Structure 1
Amino acid sequence: MPSKVYASPTGKAELVSRLISAKEATGKTFTQLSKELGLTNAYTAQLFYNQAQLKPATVQTLKKAVPGITEEDMAIMQRCPMRGFRPDIIQEPHIYRMTEAVLHYGEAIKAILNEECGDGIMSAIDMYGDLKVIEGKQGEKRFVIQLNGKFLPHVEQLEENNTAP
């Protein structure tokens, strides 16, 4: 039977609140934790927002890095998460601007992808995300987002290859 965390957005919100509180108690950033865990900083943050599954090989390292995570929450983190998009999150200014950037560059990105790789898409499942802050030419902070996704070609659907009965 699924736990309450999957039954409602409230349960997930409570889980995320507990996980973030445990992280904050360490005083560590997601980037610092990611180095301890051997994960990307984006994936590490996804774990705490219950958007990625904690794999068994990482459990002990996470327990050591963030001792405030309870055994119950650690068990929940190891289940397949209920990933999703909250419609209200688009109202947060940074997320709105990120969405705007993807929409602004989307057609150009697709055109280059199709020229270089053919007809297909970038996988969001087999993807690595990494974020860095760098210094610009005038000394300003600049934000670099790298999404490294596997190319998935669209296939011609030949009847002879259809494995459905």
Structure 2
Amino acid sequence: MAGETSKLTITKSLLALKQQSGKSYSQIAEETGLTNVFIAQLFRRQAQLKPDTAAKLQAAVPNIPVELLHEMMKPPMRSYDPNLIQEPAVYSMSAIDFYCSVDKGKGVDGKDRVVITFDGKYLPYTEQKSEHMVSRLHRH
């Protein structure tokens, strides 16, 4: 529970600093070369800030203190929400090689539309045969 409280406190601080900057996730994304969804994940401590990108983020949002940048570089503690809709195809997409962006576009009627793009490596389900286990291959 202490980890969740700490994460909540850090997240609130980060979101307040982002708001103070007056920049949108998309603006920060443009300045850092990241996607706007990934920027949102960083500010919510759901993604890990890489050292090479920390300088770009600090340039884009200069009011982030170094201590919080270091917190953002720690692996995030994600939690599972059983209330989320469960979809079998989600488990076949690799989050290791996955991009997501939220953009604004115009519909055929000229009105503003939201375009969400999921671009991930598709991993087919594999049958887990015991004879394929490396630990069993080397047993005699």
Bin for the TM-score computed over the shorter chain:
0.7 to 0.9
2:77 — aligned with what? 82
1:116 — aligned with what? none
Say which of 71, 96, 116 aligns to 1:125. Answer: 96
- Partner amino acid, structure 1, of 2:3: S
Say which of 105, 110, 135 aligns to 1:134. Answer: 105
1:26 paired with 2:47, answer no
Deviation at 1:17, TM superposition (A): 1.0
Alignment of 1:46-125 (within 5 A): 46-85=41-80, 110=89, 121-125=92-96
1:10 — aligned with what? 5
Label 1:87 to 1:152 Cα distance change in 2 as closer, same or farther (>3 A). closer
1:36 — aligned with what? 31
SS in 1 for 2:67: helix
Deviation at 1:86, TM superposition (A): 5.0
Q: Which runs of no fewer than 5 residues in structure 1 stay unpaired? A: 1-5, 91-98, 111-119
Aligned partners of 2:65 and 2:2: how far apart in 1? 20
SS in 2 for 1:138: coil
Label 1:122 to 1:87 Cα distance change in 2 as closer, same or farther (>3 A). closer
**Residues 88-140 of structure 1, C-alpha deviation per residue, up to 9 Å, x if partnerless?**
8x7xxxxxxxx5xxx7xx68xx5xxxxxxxxx812233210001111222232
Aligned partners of 1:85 and 1:155: how far apart in 2? 24
Between Structure 1 and Structure 2, which shows a larger proportion of helix residues? 1
Aligned partners of 2:6 and 2:15: how far apart in 1? 14
The share of aligned pairs that are identical, in percent, is 39
Aligned partners of 1:60 and 1:54: how far apart in 2? 10
